Amino acid sequence: MSTQRGPRAPLTGLWAPLAAAVALAVAVAVVLVATGLATHARSALFPAPTPTATTPGWLAPPSSAPALAGAAPLSTAAPVPEADRLARDLAPRLALGTGSIGGTVLDAATGRVLFSQAGGDGRVPASNLKLLTAAAVLTSLGPDARLRTRVVRPDAGTVVLAGGGDAMLAAGSSQPDAVMGRAGLATLAADTAKALAPAAGAAHDAAASPQPAPSPPRTVTVRLDDTLFTGPALSPAWDPADVAAGEIAPVYALALNGARAAPGAAGPRPEDTALDAANAFRDALAAALAGTGVTVAAGVSRVAAPAEGQELAAVESAPLGEQVDYMLRESDNYLAEVLARLAAHAQGGPAANEGAVAALRAAAVQVLGTADGLEIADACGLSLGNRISPTALATLVREMTVGSDERLRAALGGFPVAALDGTLGSRFAGSAAAGAGVVRAKTGTLNTVAALSGYTVDADGRLLAFAFVANGLDPGRRGEAVQALDGAAAALAACGCR
């Protein structure tokens, strides 16, 4: 059966009220939009959602992040560690089965001795002696001094490369932001070529200079002047085996790459760093003059540049403060010897082995007040003939951190950071981890010697200066002494010691 719907009722009676309502709504909307009330109304009724800050997983800290021991802010109001408590903590750590350790800990603010274990005895410091070398350089030349490597022209056909003591020359272009290679021989050669053959660098300006441009020489001979340093290039205090191994090399008034075949290269060093640098300059000059009609004669010979020679070009090293930092951080023996000779020259002495030794003694008198008890055979600490007490080393560190001569502050950037850089980059792990990132110290290592001198801020925020020096070690067990030194320094960093 089918169902059929009937016709719908008419809605004519409802249309009038609906049309009026729609018209009213449109009129209200126009008013709201025109007056800006619509925006306010929407904001009130539908507020914008507030985003919730989230941290990406790769930025989130680990759930079990360890506390960094010894990381309290530095404060002169922090309590001073108690000497008795410090001795009970350090003495067992500094006991060795072979050899012995002398050590001193100072409160940096007052200079008070907080711990001493044979601290006044002279001991072989190894490379900790470089701290005294740094003091000699910074107090005689200053951290802002730069070394100039010059080219002078004594006659029309000769140029002389004159070394100014920069052992960090680069064979290539100067690198303005580098310490090693700040001054480049290729840059020096290019500037020299422009001076020799102006047409190679720029066209002659007849309006500015009506005189004809000077004719360049047909052939140029390169000579080397390394007479700034005098005396034997090798110290008699050095073991020939250390020279053969590349621990040191004959010291000259200029060198490439810190007297290495390449920056940071290991192994034997060049035997004549000055001549190597001069040959690199000669090759760069020949390349710079190619196509100008000027040739460069083969070979380089040594000569003393005349004082009246015309300076054609020069390049400058990084400031000595930066070179000192490099020397300390990398414990560079060659650079230490070069810098000590420069200090001797600045003090009016000979830039030679004996002058370097005298410069270090003078620095001890100036910074420490005395050179009594010091025995100095070289400037890099390679000789077993050196002697200095842990107390003197710790006092030297204290002077660098808070002393009155602010020039010494320039050395602080060169102290390696425990477990992070320089010669401490792979140390302060395991039981010494409390010192990682907190201890800053200069290392020293010879077959029978291990030393560590530096500073740290303890757990209460007190600045402490220290020096620990182990002598008479069995070379096969030297690692035990190194761990003991690291452990003692880490204990200082974690110490409240009250």
Residue 130 is among the residues annotated as catalytic for this protein: yes
Residue 235 is among the residues annotated as catalytic for this protein: no
**Residue closest to 264 by CA, chosen among 272, 254, 256, 275:** 256
Q: What is the DSSP string of 422-472?
A: GGGTT-S-GGGGGGTTT-EEEEEEETTEEEEEEEEE-TTS-EEEEEEEEES
pLDDT tens digits, one per residue of 41-92: 444 434 444 444 443 333 334 433 444 444 456 777 889 999 999 999 999 9
Alpha-carbon span 382 to 386, nearest angstrom: 8
Alpha-carbon span 414 to 173, nearest angstrom: 26
Alpha-carbon span 168 to 374, nearest angstrom: 30
pLDDT tens digits, one per residue of 159-203: 999 999 999 999 999 999 999 999 999 999 999 999 998 744 444
pLDDT surpasses 60 at 448: yes
- Residues 398 and 465 sit within 8 Å (Cβ to Cβ): yes
Task: Tell me the mean pLDDT in the region 415-439.
Answer: 96
Task: Tell me the mean pLDDT in the region 400-418.
Answer: 97
Predicted TM-score (pTM) of the model is: 0.83
pLDDT band at 496; cut points 50, 70, 90: confident
Question: Which of 116, 174, 235, 331 is an active site residue?
Answer: 331
**Residue closest to 105 by CA, chosen among 124, 122, 119, 91:** 119
pLDDT tens digits, one per residue of 380-407: 999 999 999 999 999 999 999 999 999 9
- Give me the percent of the chain exceeding a pLDDT of 70: 82
> What tokens does 328 get?
């300390």
Dihedral of alpha carbons 8, 13, 19, 25, sign: negative
Q: How much is the pLDDT for 216?
A: 65
- Residues 101 and 468 sit within 8 Å (Cβ to Cβ): yes
Mean pLDDT rounded to a whole number for the chain: 86
Residue 331 is among the residues annotated as catalytic for this protein: yes
- Residues 475 and 447 sit within 8 Å (Cβ to Cβ): yes
**Residue closest to 320 by CA, chosen among 441, 167, 424:** 167
Dihedral of alpha carbons 329, 330, 331, 337, sign: negative
Q: Out of 117-121, 152-156, 306-310, 445-449, which region has the weakest mean confidence (pLDDT)?
A: 306-310
Task: Tell me the mean pLDDT in the region 135-164.
Answer: 97
The gap from C-alpha 28 to its chain's centroid, in whole angstroms, comes to 74
pLDDT surpasses 80 at 25: no
